[in-house]
Each structure stands twice: as structure tokens, then as C-alpha cells.
């Protein structure tokens, strides 16, 4: 398998005061830098899914893929699947930009769970579907799902492609930094790791 990765950075960060969440500082570096460090070693190639001025991510040296349709994370996943398919990849693993503690074994565990199919992460009975393995073969199904007019929910698409689930024991790995309080918790966790 040739697995590419995408960091989904297209959210509006309303609960962070509208700041560009990817660039919010955590322990002295942008949130996205933490995600890149943990995720890049797990995939063959990595891109950022984001709208707006791509130059703000120039320092990371990664391609930036804008959403064709701004319909949430599934739009970013579809763009990444198109990019990966054009480069000969067999699958894309997606992660959100606000997850600085994502598992160091995320990709292999998703592959073990999904085999040749789709898979999502879970922890303590809760699904984390934006952390997902998406074979390039689901592109047409995802495009049709997004074009259907229904509100595109990741879990609904997961059900449509019978996504398997990889369960993890470290729920902290899926901490999303959505609010200033979450950011403070992440700072405390990083401080405790030093």
C-alpha cells in the first residue's frame, strides 16, 4: 500500500475566537507543527487541506489542497483523495489540525483494522471518524455523497463504506484543541511530558 496523509485545516475555529487554528501557538510552535511531527513519519507524502491563502503554510513545505466545495472535513478528504490518486497512492489517512497528540501508530492500526477498506479511529467507545483511512477507490462514492444535498456527516459516510474501527486505549491522543480551555489542557499535558 502507498499511503498518503492529509491534515484537515479548513475549519473556522469559531470557539477559538476565529483565529487560524493551525497557527495557534502551543508550547512555542504552531499547532500544525505538532501534528506534522507526529504524522509525517507515518505516511509516504503529506499535504494540508485548507482554504484561504496557502502562503501561510509555506514554512512547512507541504502542498496545500483547497476544498472544491466547502462542506466540512469530507470535502478536504475528497480533495486529498484526488491528489493522492493522481500521484499513484492507494489510500489517504486524514487527521484534524487540532490534534497535537495523535497516536504514533495511527496509520498502522488503521491499516490493520481496515485491510484494503476504510477505517476510523475510536477510543473508549467513542468514534473519531476524522482520523480515518480512505482508499482512493471511495472517491466517486464520496463525491456522490457530497453532491446528494444531505448535510455531509463523516459518520454517515463511514456507514456507507462500512468503515472498520481501530480502537486505541489513549483517549488523550484524540484531544481536539477547540477552545482556549482545550489549549490550556494541551499546554499542561506537554508540560507534563517534558
pLDDT for the residue 180: 86
pTM, 2 dp:
0.93
- What's the average pLDDT block by block, 10 residues per block, for the chain (194 residues)? 93 63 92 97 97 92 88 93 97 96 97 94 94 97 90 92 95 88 90 61
pLDDT for the residue 14: 58
> What is the residue range of 20's domain?
3-193
CATH number of the domain enclosing 151:
3.90.550.10
Q: How many structural domains comprise the chain?
A: 1
Strand partners of residue 95:
7
Amino acid at each position: 500500500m502507498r499511503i498518503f496523509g492529509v491534515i484537515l485545516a479548513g475549519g473556522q475555529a469559531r470557539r477559538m475566537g476565529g483565529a487560524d487554528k493551525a497557527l495557534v501557538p502551543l508550547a512555542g510552535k504552531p499547532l500544525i507543527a505538532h501534528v506534522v511531527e507526529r504524522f509525517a513519519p507515518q505516511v509516504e507524502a503529506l499535504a494540508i487541506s485548507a482554504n484561504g491563502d496557502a502562503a501561510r503554510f509555506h514554512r512547512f513545505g507541504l502542498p496545500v489542497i483547497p476544498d472544491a466545495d466547502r462542506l466540512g472535513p469530507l470535502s478536504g478528504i475528497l480533495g486529498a483523495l484526488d491528489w493522492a490518486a493522481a500521484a499513484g497512492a492507494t489510500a489517504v489517512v486524514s487527521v484534524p489540525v487540532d490534534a497535537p497528540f495523535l497516536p504514533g501508530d495511527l496509520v498502522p492500526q488503521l491499516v490493520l483494522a481496515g485491510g484494503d477498506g476504510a477505517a476510523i479511529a475510536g477510543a473508549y467507545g467513542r468514534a473519531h471518524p476524522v482520523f480515518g483511512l480512505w482508499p482512493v477507490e471511495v472517491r466517486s462514492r464520496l463525491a456522490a455523497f457530497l453532491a446528494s444535498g444531505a448535510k455531509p456527516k463523516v459518520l454517515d459516510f463511514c456507514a456507507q463504506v462500512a468503515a472498520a474501527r481501530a480502537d486505541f486505549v489513549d483517549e488523550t491522543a484524540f484531544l481536539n484543541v477547540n477552545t482556549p480551555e482545550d489549549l490550556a489542557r494541551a499546554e499542561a499535558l506537554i508540560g507534563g511530558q517534558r
